[in-house]
Structure formats: C-alpha cells, structure tokens
Amino acid sequence: MSDAKYFQRGKTQELRAELNSDKRDPKHLRKKTVMKKIVANMTMGNDMSPLFPDILNVMNVSILEIKKMVYLYLINYARSKPDMAMMAITMFIKDVEDPNPLIRALAIRTMGYIQVEKIVDCLIEPLRRCLKDRDPYVRKTAAICVVKLYMYNNVLVESEHFIDMLRDLLSDPNPTVIANAVAALTEISERSENIQLKLNHSIASKLAAALNECSEWGQTYVLEALMYYLPQEQGDAEMLAERIAPRLQHANSAVVLTCVKVMMYLMNYMKNESDITSFCRKLSPPLVTLLANEPEVQYVALRNILLVIQRRPEVLRNDMKVFFCKYDDPIYVKLAKLEIIFRLANSGNVDQVLSELKEYATEVDVDFVRKAVRSIGRLAVKIESAAERCITALLDLIHTKVNYVVQEAIVVIRDIFRKYPNQYESIIGTLCENLDNLDEPEAKSAMIWIVGQYADRIENADELLDDFLYTFLDEPVEVQLALLTATVKLFIKRPLAGQELVPKVLKWATEETANPDLRDRGYIYWRLLSTDPTSAKAIVLSDKPSISTESDNLDVNFLDELLLHISSLASVYHKSPTTFIHHYKPRFLMPSPALQQGSQPQLHLATTSIQAQSEQSVNDHSNVAVNRLSFTGPNPANPYATDFQSIQPTTPGASNGVGVDLLL
C-alpha cells in the first residue's frame, strides 16, 4: 500500500494521543503508522518538535523500521532542543551495544549527525568500539562518522587518534570498509589545513587490488584516493595505471571519468613515450562510450574531453565522427561537440569537418549557427591549406543574406585577412555589398577594420567610412575606436580622400566623448599627425602580429590543474575550485624523481596564485613615448591587434609545506 495517505497535515495533540495510546499493540503496528505520519509532516515542513518527549519513549521499541524514523526525528530536531536530546543518550549507548549490527550502525550514525556538545562527548568511546566492531557494516558506518565528527571538532578527532584508526582500516579484509575509510581520509585531508594525505606504493597497490570487490561508488572513492599516490621510481606509474585500466570499461560514468583522471595524472610520471601513447589509446573507447548516455552525462563528458585532448592530442584523434551533432541533441551538447570537432580538425580530415560545419550553418538555432560560422573561420586560421575552401564556404553563406550569418562571417573574415594578408582581398567587394545588414558592434568593427586596412584598394573607402561616421557619437566604444583608427589609416594612405574626415573624427574623439581610451587614442593620433607624419605612418601602418588559434588554448599550468579535477564541477566550469569553493585546498603536481621534465614548471604553483594572476585587470591605456616610438599596452594602429605581455604566475611556497603529512 502506498504511503501517500500519510502526507496530510496532522495535529500534534492527536499524534501524541496515538503515540501514548494504551490499546494493545504487540507488534507496534500503530506506533509505526503514527511515526510515518510524523515523518510525513516533517517532510512537508510542519513543526513536530512539541512531540520530542513522546518520541523519546518510542526509542525503547526494538523494531528497526521504527528506530529509523525515531532517529530521523532526533536528527531533525536535536539542535533546536539540545536539552531534550540529552535524554536520548542512555538509549544511544544501549543501541550501540545491541546484538543487531544494523541497530549498532544506525545508532552510531545518528550520534554523529547530532552535533550537540554533550552528545559528541559521549560519542567518543562508542565510536572507538564501532571502528573495531566485528561486523563490517558497523565499521564502514563508523568510518564516515569520524568525518562528521571532524567537521564539528577537528581537534578532538586528532587528539583521540581516530585518524590513525582510519588508517588501520585500510588493511581491513572487507572492501566496503576500505572504500569508506579511504573516503573519510580523503575528505579529512581536503578539509584540514595541516594534514596532507600521501599514499606509498604498498598502500596504493592494496587499494588497486580492492577495486574489483568494491561497489561502484566505493571504486570511485578508491580511485579518487589514488590521486594522493606519488610515484617515486620509473615504472611505478605505469604499473598502477595498468592495474586500474579495467575500470575504464565500467558501466558507471563516474567510475570511468575518475579512472581517466587518475591515468592522466599518472602519465605525468611516465618516462617512456610508447607507454604514454598506449594508455592514451586505452582512454579513447571509454570516452566515446560516455557519449551514449543521457544528454547531461554527455555534456559533463564533453567538457572533460575538451581538457584531455588539449593535454594529450593523441586521445580521440581518430574518433572525429562520434562528435558530429545529432538533430535531437540539446543546444548545450551541440556547442560542446562543436568545440571538440574544431580541436580535432587537421589537414587529413578538414574536408569532412568543413562539410559538417557548412551543414550546421543552415540550422535554425541562431547560437549554434553563429558558432558554426565562427568555427569555419577559425578552421581557416588553424589550417592554412584549407583557408581557400573556408573562404569559399563563408562567401556561400554570405550570399544567403541571412543577417546574423552575414555578420558572423564578416567577423571571422577579418581574422583571416590578418592571418593571410594580401591573399584574399578579392572578396572585399562582396563584403561591401552587405554593409546595410550590419547592426552588431562586433560585425561593424570588423567591417570598419577591413575598410581602413585596405583603404588604398577600396575606391570609395571615404564614402563608406563617412556613412559609418554619421552615427559616430551614438555607437558603442568598440565601433568608435575602430572608426577612429580606420579614418587615420585612410588619411595616411590617401591624404586627399581622408583630409575632411580626420579633423572631424579627432574633434569628436577628444572633445565630445567621455571614454578615456577613445579620448587618449584621439590625442595620440592628433599629436603624431601634427608633429611627425612619417613616424605616424610607420606606427599606424606597422606590421600586425600574426594571429593563431593557440590563444584559444588554456594556460598550460591552469590546464594541468584542471586535469587534476576531472569529473568534478571544476572540469565542467573550466574554473579553479578556489573560485567557487571557500577555503578549498588547491591541488598541484608534486615533485618526484619520476616527474616528466615537461611538467616541472608548474610545480608548487598554487591554484590561488594562478587564479589571482589570471584575474588581474590589464591597463588598457596606451603609453607612448613619441621620440622612441615605443609602446606598452594595445597597439594604437589596430585595436584588434592587442599585444599583452605574458603574465607569469608567482611561485609561492608550497601550501602544504607546514603541517602533518599523513603518509600511508
């Protein structure tokens, strides 16, 4: 029979009367029914705390189902009525010594949840006994109870040597107990400021051996703990990776992703490239299999795959087709797949990729179409041999006259012009035919840059810029900066055509705008043009720095940090955990004789330091020494060719340099 009938608002007086009824109830069926009503009312948010004394009387009933509901009630209301909760201590002590292991485990778990000082004091001895209990179910429950107690009073846990007892449980014959002990030690290590978990080769081998007998979530805990193993000798990492590799075939996606994380971590400590290549091949099939799950799991897998292929490009190199979008994929899955398709594109499969992207560009979803068009342009920048085919595809899309497609195409064509100067200028005429379709700032800025850059080849460049200047004061700063630079370029290349526009634009930029960047750039151009036109030409028309798709890649140190958090929120957000978890202890690769040389630079780079550096604001104000023609900041000749000096993260002392290493 369904329990839905119990979810009705009940009066505490009636429920109390039923609990204390004198009617004969040898099997306690009536009490069970009343307790279900009380728990149902708690679930609905009704205050059942006045029944506390009456519930305490029910603790004497030895039926497990009733005890579960009584303990649930106590957990819910003990903090609000700590004095009343004290009356339950005697029954807790009695239940901890009950012959039934389920009741013993239930009692110790409930005491761990009730974080009232006097109950915590009474918990110490029962917890110590339960950690050595003859039944594995009680031991595994007690292991988690230690973590609960640590959250309430970490000093008490350390002084009572409960952590040492957890460490002893790693040698327990029961794999479920081992899994819970590992989970408890891992949680304590992450929360503690002075305890750092480290596994030696012997313990790591024992944990790997226990994997086969653990439950699926137990396997996840054990694999997570192996991230604290530091290989010291050549061959240690390879041996452990080989032992956990069968977990890649597991049906549970959490087990698969956690195993991928451990193997990616261990590859940093492998010397033999052939071994690394072999393990990379083993990673491909399970990652592909994850894409057969529901969309939410697919998205998590795709975000993690994006990190993996940046660090190990050989993974999934030959599995391009599995990332092609399906018609019924949610938009977030399609966008994630699109990014991976671009990453995996190379000269060997570019025709196949380009054909797929052209198909995507005719879809109905605007965001997806924009991303597809932009990917075609990025493909041209990435693979020079495919640039002409990408240009042809973009022109075909422009001829569709779909507004957002045209604008996105113009934006990426600007990047192609920068990458391959003086090669594809013949299409400028086609671009100019679509000026009336431009209503987005980025597209306008791109078209204005093209007009200014090729002002000597566009006969009516002055007329085109004059049309844009008609709304100069109403445009966003991005467009105003582009117009200012393009007009100066026109004047330098064709003085007669630009002599009427330049004074007007400079006057607007310096006198009628409030933006400091625009005003400062206007003054710089004015000073250069009025004092030294030759230098102005050399500066404004200087060679632009080459662009590439490498800028899309994550910083190497930051990428290695995220790879230590595969299968977590950090790998989905692509953000350091310190940005959204308060007091999070950062992870980083630890030094070892087995560590690859290529991984050395990121040692001791704490996450907080890297994040602080990456979030530093960069001063956008130009600082020009006219006599020496030296620049710091964006290049005034082209606001889209910004060159920032590389920001090097500072190297603080290791965050775990002070404290206790829990060496296992």
The yes-or-no verdict on residue 455 having pLDDT over 80 is yes
Phi then psi for 195, rounded to 5 degrees?
-120, 125
pLDDT for 365: 92
The H-or-E segment that residue 101 falls in is helix 101-113
Q: How far is Cα 270 from Cα 515, in angstroms, rounded to an integer?
A: 53
| Paired tokens of 155 | 């000093």
Please provide the DSSP assignment of 305-337 as one string. Answer: HHHHHHH-TTTTTT-GGGGSPPTTS-HHHHHHH
The answer to whether 561 and 573 are in contact (CB under 8 A) is no
Q: What is the average pLDDT value for the chain, to the nearest integer?
A: 85
Q: How far is Cα 621 from Cα 524, in angstroms, rounded to an integer?
A: 11
Quickly state the pLDDT bin for 652 (edges 50, 70, 90): very low
Instruction: Name residue, tokens 């479920």.
Output: 176
The yes-or-no verdict on residue 636 having pLDDT over 60 is no
Pairing status of strand 195-198 against strand 660-663: parallel
Question: What are the tens digits of pLDDT across the range 219-254?
Answer: 999 999 999 999 998 899 999 999 999 999 999 999
Question: What are the tens digits of pLDDT across the range 53-65?
Answer: 888 888 888 888 8
Least confident of 25-39, 364-378, 466-480, 557-571: 25-39
Q: Please choose, from the candidates 413, 591, 621, the residue with its C-alpha nearest in 3D space to the C-alpha of residue 516.
A: 621
Question: What are the tens digits of pLDDT across the range 417-454?
Answer: 999 988 888 899 899 888 888 889 999 999 999 999 99
Question: What are the tens digits of pLDDT across the range 167-199?
Answer: 999 989 999 999 999 999 999 998 888 888 899
pLDDT for 269: 94
pLDDT for 21: 78
The answer to whether 149 and 156 are in contact (CB under 8 A) is yes
Residues 651-664 as b/e (b if ≥16 CB within 10 A, e otherwise) read eeeebbeeeeebeb
Percent share of the chain, pLDDT over 90? 57
| Paired tokens of 202 | 């012997």
Distances, alpha carbon 208 to alpha carbons 145, 240, 301, 590, in Å? 24, 8, 24, 21
The yes-or-no verdict on residue 611 having pLDDT over 70 is no
**What value does the CA radius of gyration of the chain take, rounded to a whole number of Å?**
33
Quickly state the pLDDT bin for 92 (edges 50, 70, 90): confident
Domain spans, the chain: 458-542
Question: Which 8-state DSSP code applies to residue 195?
Answer: E
Least confident of 80-84, 644-648, 658-662: 644-648
Quickly state the pLDDT bin for 597 (edges 50, 70, 90): low
Phi then psi for 186, rounded to 5 degrees?
-65, -45
| Paired tokens of 252 | 């549970």
Give the pTM.
0.81
Percent share of the chain, pLDDT over 70? 89
| Paired tokens of 264 | 């990616």
Question: What are the tens digits of pLDDT across the range 512-570?
Answer: 988 999 999 999 999 999 998 889 899 999 887 778 777 778 899 999 999 999 999 99
Please count the CA atoms within 13 angstroms of the CA of 265 that sit on its side-chain side. Answer: 29
